[in-house]
Amino acid sequence: MRPFGAQLHQQLIGRLVAHSDAPLDAELHLVGGQLPFENLALASFCKEAHVPSVCNGCPRIIHGVIVIDAQGLAASRPNRPLFRDLSITVSTGDRIGVVGLNGCGKSTLLRILTGELQADAGEVRTGRNARVGVLSQHPVLPAGTVRQAAASDVEAAASDVEAWRAEAALSRLGMGDMLDARTDQLSGGQTKRVALASLLCREWDALVLDEPTNHLDLDAITYLEDALASFGGGLLLVTHDRHVLDRVTTKVLEIDRGHAYVHEPRGVNTGSGYATYLAARIEREETAATAEQVRRNAARRELTWLRRGAPARSTKPKARVDAAKNLIAQRADAPARQGDIGLDLGTTRLGSKGVELDGVSFTWPGNASPTVANCTLTLEPGDRIGIVGPNGAGKSTLLDLVAGRIEPATGTVTRGSTVKIGYYDQLGRDLDPTQRVRDAVIGDKGDPSVEDLNLMRSFWFDGDAQFAPIGTLSGGERRRLQLLLTLVAQPNVLLLDEPTNDLDLDTLRALEDHLETWPGIVVVVSHDRTFLDVTVDEVLALGGDGNVRRVRGGVAGWLAERSAGTTTSDKATSSSHVATAKPTTKSKVSPSTLRRQIGEAERAMNKAQAESERLSAELAAAGNDHHKITALSEDLGRVHETLATAESRWLELAAEAEAAGLDIS
């Protein structure tokens, strides 16, 4: 990497020497962003040079100064190009999100920009003395304790302050009770949180973060968002958390089929890099479709001209003949993926009984208090349950109890005779990194069948990807393979533990659409607010004290409680049983099922009402066509009957909910 900016660096030093009586440090970190004192002459010079600052005190970070500049980058992996001719500049004040399909090269790009990898082509330059903080997908910590790892490389003069900031960051990221734990005993998620805390407690000119929200709970994600929003340096961020993209980023770099597109907000999308990316992607796809249609029309005309009789063809200009052949031979860029992901692999029939937990408690060995205490929970067909809580509160433990991976210390777990559980956990199946994708899918059957090949293609594993060793796949591709292996067994109860980790935005949206109509039971542990809002009807919260309770207001309600400093124990609605208040009349179904039935009745009413309005409009426009009037009148009568039935059903369910003390607002 080659430094730049020496001329402006020297100009600033000259201004400081000329206008200040204070001693000047031997090194002035211009692009590094660190000035030794507040200086009015420097501020005046920066104003003249049109270089505004982004903070008021010392140390000062100059806005708009280039930290990383990359031009003409190209990269590939075995049998597959990733991107070519990619250029990106990261300046102080930039907030750049990097998006693209799994395996398109996002993490590879970050590793090239930070010097960890060498690009196949192109050049990367960094500012003189620039300090760039890096968080990789799988960071490695130095040996020692968590406290030492987070506060390592601290300058002696600032050790006390930096150590305090490191401990504060660890606490906010859910590692406050593990300060003295050894780093070689941490899980992958804990390691990443320590590495992130180590970054956030220091001053940087740019941060390069690869999936920083993975393994963070909602409290920690909120803290990270606030920290990044107030960061004065440049930010390059790979994440699939749409809420973080929308709040933190102001630009988006999209990698699509080897090309790079930078989207900058303007107009109605000002301030949101994610909204700008969505709008620009739709516009680009529409433009490409229009251009392809124009090309096809022109190709048809040229083909007709070429097919005229042989005598006429002999007099045709050769240049036009060649141009016509080239036009006909042209093809639009192949789509990045063929079709939609094939998540609909069927499901085993689920009877009327799902999974019931009655007074279940569980304590991990070595813990003084139970992780789950006296939990009573009923999961019925059609239930959509989300589970939230801080890291270590017992969310995955509750899923393990439902799945039967662990047995309760007290209480019982009863599963219906038709229940077939599919568990998509955050640790992943035991996939052999040396095994090929196709071998993992077909198992010990020998050669793959046509169905096996089609299945892999429907999950976007086609061509060389089927023969790729699992160890060469990106994190998102491995998660997609794990999802395939979970769904191919046709479960009717899906337990999803952090399903959004590493999956790209297109796959996330496809999974959300699939779960909307999936007939079985879905239980989701996730810290992705957007995913939870779309996929679940009811939210349960674990507070770390073993209690499991329903949260009013869903994810937003739980976050409001946390920000207000409320706890599970001081809530009137708190209970070790998943319920609200004592019902005056016990409902025949669970609260989640009752809510789902009310939602279905509301949708039926809305559909009938819309059909009634359409038929009424057609009837008004029928004029004197008596046959049409008769037919429309009969249809309208049937729709009115359907609407009345739906309204009656809704009223019955609402009354049942009110009698059970259930809030359906």
The per-residue DSSP string of 417-450 comes to: TT--EEEE-SS-----TTSBHHHHHHTTSSSPPH
pLDDT of residue 327: 57
CA distance 273 to 330: 34
* Top-confidence range, 2-16, 107-121, 276-290, 454-468: 107-121
Burial class of residue 629 (count of CB atoms within 10 Å of its CB; 0-12, 13-18, 19+) = middle
Q: What is the pLDDT of residue 662?
A: 63
Lowest mean pLDDT among 194-208, 283-297, 547-561, 570-584: 570-584
Does 283 fall in a domain?
A: no
Tell whether 41 and 132 lie within a shared domain. Answer: no
User: In the β-sheet with 384-388, what is the strand arrangement from edge to edge?
Assistant: 421-424, 493-497, 521-525, 384-388, 538-542, 548-550
Q: What is the percentage of the chain residues whose pLDDT exceeds 70? A: 74
CATH code of the domain containing 617: 1.10.287
For tokens 């280039």, what's the residue? 66
Distances (CA, A) of 636 to 621, 623, 625, 642: 14, 16, 16, 10
pLDDT tens by residue, 479-500: 888 888 888 888 999 999 988 8
Q: Examine residue 553 and state whether it is found in any structural domain, yes or no.
A: yes
Plot region of 144 (φ>0 → left; ψ -120 to 50 → alpha; else → beta): left
Q: How much is the pLDDT for 112?
A: 94
Higher pLDDT, 10 or 116: 116
Whether residues 27 and 165 share a domain: the answer is no
Cα 490 to Cα 110, 430, 498, distances in angstroms: 38, 19, 20
Higher pLDDT, 271 or 180: 180
Residues 238 and 163 in one domain: yes
Tell me if 317 is assigned to some domain.
Answer: no
The angle formed by the CA atoms of residues 207, 212 and 215, to the nearest 5 degrees, is 160
User: In which band, very low, low, confident or very high, does the pLDDT at 330 lie, cut at 50, 70 and 90?
Assistant: low
Residue 196 pLDDT level (bands cut at 50, 70, 90)? very high
For residue range 571-586, list pLDDT tens digits in order: 433 444 454 333 344 4
Mean pLDDT, residues 599-620: 84
Across 279-288, 408-417, 574-583, least confident range: 574-583
Asked if residue 514 and residue 419 are part of one domain, the reply reads: yes
pLDDT of residue 235: 94
In a domain, 581, yes or no: no
Mean pLDDT across 290-296: 70
- Given this model, what pLDDT does residue 144 score? 87
In total, how many domains does the chain have?
4
Lowest mean pLDDT among 296-310, 395-409, 581-595: 581-595
CATH of the domain at 108: 3.40.50.300
The reported pLDDT for the residue numbered 4 is 42
Q: How much is the average pLDDT of 625-635? A: 82
316 domain-assigned: no
Q: Is the domain of 471 the same as that of 617?
A: no
Q: Longest Cα pair distance anywhere in the chain, in angstroms?
A: 98
521 and 607 together in one domain = no
pLDDT confidence bin for 428, thresholds 50/70/90? low
> 201 lies in a domain?
yes
For residue 359, name the pLDDT band (cuts at 50, 70, 90): very high
Residue 78 above 50 pLDDT? yes
Shared domain check, 77 and 31: no
Q: What is the pLDDT of residue 444?
A: 75
Does 640 reside within a domain?
yes
Share of the chain above pLDDT 90, in %: 17
What pLDDT, on a 0 to 100 scale, did the predictor assign at position 8? 43
- Provide the Cα torsion 376, 378, 379, 382; round to 10°: -140
Residues 483 and 524 in one domain: yes
Task: Note whether 95 and 182 are same-domain residues.
Answer: yes
pLDDT for res 495: 93
Lowest mean pLDDT across 311-325, 348-362, 416-430, 542-556:
311-325
Task: Give the chain's mean pLDDT.
Answer: 76
From 547, 563, 579, the end of a domain falls on 563
Query: Last residue of a domain, which of 247, 262, 278?
Result: 278
Q: What is the pLDDT of residue 30?
A: 36
The span from the CA of 99 to the CA of 505, in Å, is 8
pLDDT at 338 > cutoff 60: no
Same domain, 505 and 616: no
The whole-number average pLDDT for the span 165-173 is: 87
Least trusted range by pLDDT, from 60-74, 160-174, 313-327, 580-594: 580-594
At 200 the three-state DSSP class reads helix
* Range of the structural domain that residue 525 is part of: 355-563
Does the pLDDT of residue 88 top 50, yes or no?
yes
pLDDT for 412 equals: 93
- Residue 660: per-residue pLDDT: 67
Structure tokens at 146: 């968590």
The per-residue DSSP string of 111-131 comes to HHHTTSS--SEEEEEE-TT--
Question: In the structure, what pLDDT confidence band is assigned to residue 113 with cuts at 50, 70 and 90?
Answer: very high
Q: Residues 425-454: what's their mean pLDDT? A: 79
* pTM recorded for the entire structure: 0.65
User: What pLDDT band is residue 205 in, cutting at 50, 70 and 90?
Assistant: very high
Q: What is the mean pLDDT of residues 5-25?
A: 44
pLDDT higher than 70, residue 83: yes
Residue 81 has pLDDT above 80, yes or no: yes
238 and 365, same domain (yes or no)? no
In a domain, 573, yes or no: no
Q: Which of residues 244, 262, 278 is at a domain's end?
A: 278
Q: How many CB atoms lie within 10 A of CB 61?
A: 21
Model pLDDT, residue 447: 78
Say yes or no: 386 and 459 in one domain: yes
Residues paired with residue 524 on neighbouring β-strands, in sequence order: 386, 496
648 or 580, greater pLDDT: 648
Q: How confident is the model at residue 387 (pLDDT cuts 50, 70, 90)?
A: very high
The model's confidence at residue 419, banded by pLDDT at 50, 70 and 90, is very high
Residue 347 has what pLDDT? 80
